[in-house]
Homo-oligomer: A and B are copies of this chain.
Amino acid sequence: MKKYNILTIFPDMFRDPFSVGVLSKAVESGFFHINPVNIREYTTDKHRTTDDYQYGGGQGLLMKVEPIHRAVQDIKQKQGGTRVILMDPRGKRFTQDDAERLKEYDSLTFVCGRYEGVDERVVDLVVDESLSLGDFVLTGGEFASMVMIDSIARLLPGVLGDENSPLEESHQSGLLEHPHYSKPREYEGLAVPEILFSGHHANIEKWRREKSLEITFQNRRDMLKTAKLSDEDKKYLDTLGGKKKIYVALLHYPMKDKEKENVATSITNMDLHDISRSCTTYDVKKYYVVTPLKAQREIAGRVIKHWLEGYGATYNVNRKQAFEGTQLTEGLLDVIADIEKKEGERPVVVATTARDSRADIGFDEVSALSEDKPCLIIFGTGWGFTEDVFKMSDRVLKPIEGAGNFNHLSVRSAVAIILDRIYRF
């Protein structure tokens, strides 16, 4: 029989939850044993103190090291060893993998801190691992330990009755679950989807899979990165809406030069190619190359034409596709007007910068915003935007922070990274 000990100063909290809940039968049948241990019983002073003020000053009381240490030693002796888990917001976040891993232990001991936490020497002396339930604060570890025990115990063979049942749940398949329906067939004007009465098993499975993909796409897009997806799954995901309305513009005027003078910079062949390719890879709706100099637009126009219609179009069809979304434009106002015509509303103009000071929007925020409103992300050339450009912008995107202090990416690399960050959410 598995033994789940909980070190707490509130052992009575654990009476009801496991004696009258869904796991109570499994407890009665002896699949596992819940053993709340009152830390107070391991104190030696006459006031039976389990907490104290912390050294160095600061609010709140701390759980003392001695009683916890003694309690763990006692459990280890009685149960021939135990895996000690500290309920700790600083720990690794508990996931289904942890539940699967921990179900193998015959004895687990959950240490529940209170107040400001536990004396750090508890970690040094007795704790095997620290686990956190999530990014929120609790009054103590008690409820967190109940959740973990529930999640671990339900995986023990026999506990849930039907042994196959655990396999179908959300978070065990890598996708969120499809909707479920039961009687009545219609309730308050809401009918069960017809497909479920078709008796056609394969069609029902297809419908359920698509709903699973849809719900995961809507609520937890991050899970799609690691879920096992078939080619059919991927095709279906492509048909789902939620497309981001991202536009990119590369400005060649008004820019600053090295001496901080206003200048028009030259269009470069490499900017045309690399950024067109990045924009097409990430499904950017249009890439505008902006310069007021007519001669510059003409040269760039000839390059693009070569790849769209000339010899280049047959030599490299991928490059043709890359340039199909590229457009030469005179000024930023023309770009904004063009997007407004297409989308029926003015885009949110998001300037990019290598400096932190004026940034007011993050990558995740632009990502979310762009599913609602068109967003135009503008990139500079030369030595950066003039003040006028910032004045025309609604928001300024956080700079890319690399690993070191050096931050001098080429505009081509910056576009690639920023699109990757925005489209990964």
A residues with a Cβ closer than 8 A to B are 10, 12-17, 20-23, 51-60, 62, 64-66, 69, 89-96, 98-99, 114, 116-121, 123-125, 133-140, 142-144, 146-147, 150-151, 154, 160, 162, 164-166, 168-172, 176-177, 179-185, 187-188, 190, 192, 195-197, 201, 204, 208, 215, 219-220, 238, 244, 270, 273-274, 277-278, 280-283, 318-319, 321-322, 400, 402-410, 412-417, 419-421, 423
Contacts and interface: CB of A to CB of B under 8 A. Distances in A.
A154 B138 contact: yes
A373 to B, nearest CB: 18
B13 A21 contact: yes
Nearest to A319: B408
A92 B22 contact: no
B142 A91 contact: no
Contacts of A321: 406
A271 to B, nearest CB: 10
A408 B278 CA distance: 8
A89 B166 CA distance: 14
A381 to B, nearest CB: 14
B95 A134 contact: yes
Nearest to A124: B190
B55 A136 contact: no
Copies in the complex: 2
B139 A65 contact: no
Contacts of A125: 187-188, 190
A280 B410 CA distance: 12
A291 to B, nearest CB: 20
A423 B410 contact: no
A320 to B, nearest CB: 11
A16 B146 CA distance: 13
A375 to B, nearest CB: 14
A20 B11 CA distance: 9
User: Which of A55, A160, A166 counts the most chain B CB atoms within 10 A?
Assistant: A55
Nearest to A407: B281
A10 B21 contact: yes
Given A52-B183, A138-B147, 8 more contacts: A13-B17, A62-B180, A65-B187, A96-B136, A99-B136, A133-B147, A137-B169, A278-B413
5 nearest A-B residue pairs (beta carbon): A56-B196, A120-B179, A413-B416, A281-B402, A89-B170
User: Which of A69, A123, A404 counts the most chain B CB atoms within 10 A?
Assistant: A404
